[in-house]
């Protein structure tokens, strides 16, 4: 994401963090603005052009739009629960 | 600069039988939203569906003719 979880530097990153917090999902964030090598390498690795990128159990779930859509459908909660073994 | 017609025609060719509708979100011919319904999306995750659309539009996305693209996909 752009910025830190408690100080996002972009509206899309902020919205994605809000959703995770709203679902009480424990997560770690990486600030790509402070890690230019990751910023450059990740889109190629994940085949996804923009940030933020949400990974659950090593699997790319999506960016801000997809995270919103999956939250609204309840799918994101299911993915988080199964990752946490709930 | 790009057009909604160009986006729709690229997707028609890349995804046979798809129904694609693009909207110019800002009136500046570079921020678009596209809704795509395609049988090939069946059984694929949202991220895979979006990656298929991104891949089809790779060229105009990379050279900047499309600056931003909001994607909405569904399997009919």
Cα A5 to the center of its chain, rounded Å = 10
CB contact under 8 Å between A62 and B54, yes or no, is no
Taken in order of first residue, the domains within chain B and their CATH numbers are: 4-74 (3.30.300.90)
CB contact under 8 Å between A47 and B51, yes or no, is yes
Quick one: pLDDT band at residue A39, thresholds 50, 70, 90?
very high
Which residues in chain B touch residue A60, judged by CB atoms under 8 angstroms apart? 47
Dist. CA A33–CA A4, nearest whole Å = 9
What tokens were used for B71?
A: 């994607």
Quick one: pLDDT band at residue A86, thresholds 50, 70, 90?
confident
**Does residue A64 surpass a pLDDT of 90?**
yes
Which residues in chain B touch residue A48, judged by CB atoms under 8 angstroms apart? 47, 51, 54
Q: What is the pTM of this model?
A: 0.86
Which top CATH class is A3-83?
Answer: alpha beta
Could you report the per-residue pLDDT of A24-33, keeping only the tens digit for each? 999 999 999 9
> Percentage of chain A with pLDDT > 90?
97
**Does residue A49 surpass a pLDDT of 90?**
no
Q: What is the ipTM of this complex?
A: 0.80
Which residues in chain A touch residue B47, judged by CB atoms under 8 angstroms apart? 48, 60-62, 66
Mean pLDDT within B68-74: 94
Q: How many CB atoms lie within 10 A of CB B27?
A: 7
What tokens were used for B7?
A: 């986006």
Dist. CA A28–CA A85, nearest whole Å = 18
Contacts of A71 (CB under 8 A, 6+ apart): A19, A22, A23, A77
**Where in chain A are the domains?**
3-83
Q: Is B54 on the interface with A (CB under 8 A)?
A: yes
CB contact under 8 Å between B54 and A61, yes or no, is no
Cα A68 to the center of its chain, rounded Å = 11
Could you report the per-residue pLDDT of B13-60, keeping only the tens digit for each? 999 999 999 999 999 999 999 999 999 999 999 999 999 999 999 999
Dist. CA B40–CA B12, nearest whole Å = 13
């Amino acid at each position: 994401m752009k910025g830190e979880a408690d100080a996002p530097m972009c509206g899309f990153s902020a919205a994605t963090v809000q959703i995770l917090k709203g679902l009480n999902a424990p997560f770690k964030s990486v600030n790509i603005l402070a890690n230019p090598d990751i910023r450059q390498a990740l889109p190629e690795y994940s085949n996804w052009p923009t940030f933020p990128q949400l990974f659950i159990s090593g699997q790319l779930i999506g960016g801000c739009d997809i995270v919103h859509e999956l939250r609204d459908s309840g799918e994101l909660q299911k993915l988080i629960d199964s990752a946490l073994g709930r | 600069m790009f057009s909604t017609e160009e986006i729709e025609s690229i997707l028609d060719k890349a995804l046979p039988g798809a129904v694609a509708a693009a909207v110019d979100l800002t009136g500046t011919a570079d921020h678009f939203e596209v809704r795509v319904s395609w049988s090939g999306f069946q059984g694929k995750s949202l991220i895979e569906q979006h990656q298929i659309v991104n891949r089809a539009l790779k060229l105009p996305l990379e050279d900047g003719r499309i600056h931003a693209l909001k994607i909405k996909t569904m399997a009919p």
